[in-house]
Amino acid sequence: MKSRRKLWSIFGPVIVAAGLLILLFSLPLGWGRFSEQTEKQAAVSLSPKVFRGQKIKQQALQNGYVPFFGSSELSRFDVFNPAVLAAKYRRSYRPFLLGAAGSQSLTHYFIMQNLGSQLRGKKVVFIISPQWFTKLGQRPDAFGFYYSPLQTIDWIIHAKNNPADRYAAKRLLQMPSGRSSQTTAAALENIANGQSISRFQKTVLRAKETMLRNEDTLFSHFQTNKNLAKVQKSEKVLPAQYSTPQLQRLATKVGHQATSNNQLGIKNSFYTRRLSGNHMQALRDSQTNFDYRQSPEYSDFQLVLTQFSQWHVSVQFIIPPINQRWANYTGLSMPMIHQTDQKIKYQLQQQGFNHVLDLTDDGNEKYFMEDTIHLGWRGWLRADQAIDPFLTKQQPQPKYNIQNRFFTKKWQTSTHIE
């Protein structure tokens, strides 16, 4: 009898704790709303946790935030970053920055998956870098870094038997992260083969979805990030009133001061940290063989376009240039860059995506680029001149005409348009 009491006193609390934990994660709990401050922090956090999640993005997008998809350029919080400009000049929109080093089309495609009802009929900005279009496309490790089981499950549950979804399933299965869970991998195999997922898979996935969603909601309350402070610091440098000539002068001035230690127009800190000393010698003519014209990324990008079309999203695309002096130094082929640009634009325009700000030829503009391939002071201002009217003025309902030929190997490898 005594032993039995002892047993209860040992395992009773464990059983209660386990029960509570199961309840916590399996009940569809709402967990309240996030404060405005949390929204603000999340919008500029660029944290994988935010990218992988759902709840905070949903709430922010309902409250006037607009997704800005991109990659490493978003993480430069200098004075003219779109997040800084929008906050300073009290625009009717606030950018929700989605993307950091290594995030490409495939990551963005999955980020969108549980934001359907927030994106339908809305506007977004999409910064598409030629550097994504490498021979092997999305790097599996970078994809894994942003991989979200929740988004993947949401996607699987709604997947249909069509070329886009079959392609996406195949792509995921090529990534180690897509195979990290057995249930997910099995369901993906089904979708890739054009079969529907089994009822058992669906039940397991639904249970997991609830659990992951609760986890996301719970932990999204904890935003620890220093980027918001950077944004607020940068705001102080800007003039009180928006005036293009004044901002141009400021951009020139700040850019001039910040690129004083090298001949390439690269920000001093970037130059010292990444390029100084022997690195520079090693980089001379190091990019002569770079080629962005053939890449699986073209089809990954097509996934994103298909999704935009399904939800009638209006998209402002921005194609950033490459710092011309840097390209010359590293021997990057400009004809190749132009052909890449043509190919991307062709894919966009053939399907009715007509808001494209192509900056490819601006790589030689002074203080346009902050370093090698990232938009900087005047570059962001130029982008803002397209972004601001696009987001603040009424746009006609887009008419898209999605073509599945962009999912083919033939398109990925073609160097001749038409």
Partner 1 sequence: MINLQPYSNPIYFVWLAVTLLPLMVGLYFGKRFVVYQTIISGIFLLLIFGGSKWQQGLALIGYIIYQFIVVGGYAAYKKHANKTWVFVSMVSLSIMPLVIVKLTPAIEVGQQSLIGFLGISYLTFKSVQMIMEMRDGTIKKFAPIMFARFLLFFPTISSGPIDRYRRFQHDYVQVPTREHYLEMVAQAVHYIFLGFLYKFILGYFFGTVMLPQIAQVAISHRAAFFHTGISLALIEYMYTYSMYLFFDFAGYSLFAVAASYLMGIETPMNFDHPFKARNIKDFWNRWHMTLSFWFRDFIFMRLTFFIMKHHLIKKRTRIPQAAYLVNFLIMGFWHGVTWYYIVYGLFHAGAIIINDYWLAYKKKNPQLPHNRWTEGLAIFITFNVVCFSFLIFSGFLNTLWFQAR
Residues that bind partner 1 (CB under 8 A): 3, 6-7, 9-11, 14, 182, 224, 272-274, 279
- Dihedral sign, CA of 387, 100, 111, 293? positive
Residue closer to partner 1, measured from CB, 165 or 370: 370
Please state, as a whole number, how many other Cβ atoms lie within 10 Å of the Cβ of residue 254: 18
Smallest separation (angstroms) from partner 1 to the CB of 405? 37
Which of 12, 389 has the CB closer to partner 1? 12
Alpha-carbon gap, residue 203 to 132, rounded angstroms: 36
Least separation in angstroms between residue 173's CB and partner 1 is: 16
Looking at the Cβ atoms of 62 and 269, the one nearer to partner 1 is 269
Q: Phi-psi region for residue 277, left (φ > 0), alpha (ψ -120 to 50) or beta?
A: left
Residue 35 — left, alpha, or beta (φ > 0 → left; ψ -120 to 50 → alpha)? beta
Q: How far is the CB of 218 from partner 1 (least distance, A)?
A: 14
Shortest reach from residue 132's CB to partner 1, in Å: 22
How many angstroms separate the CA atoms of 367 and 377, rounded?
6
CA dist., res. 121 & res. 114, Å (int): 15
Smallest distance, partner 1 to C-beta of residue 23, A:
16
CB of 11 to partner 1, least distance (A): 7
Report whether 264 contacts 271 (CB < 8 A). yes
Give the nearer residue to partner 1 in terms of CB position, either 11 or 31: 11
Q: Which is nearer to partner 1, 226 or 405 (CB)?
A: 226
Nearer Cβ to partner 1 (2/410):
2
Least Å distance, CB 226 to partner 1, is 9
- Of the two residues 28 and 277, which places its CB atom closer to partner 1 in the complex? 277
Report angle CA 357, 358, 364 to the nearest 5 degrees: 125
Q: CB 2 → partner 1: shortest distance, Å? A: 9
How many angstroms from the chain centroid is the CA of residue 295? 19
Nearer to partner 1, 221 or 273 (CB): 273
DSSP of 52-69 = H--HHHHHHHHTTEEEEE
In angstroms, what CA-CA distances link 324 with 363, 366, 374? 5, 10, 12
Q: Which helix (H) or strand (E) holds 6?
A: helix 2-26
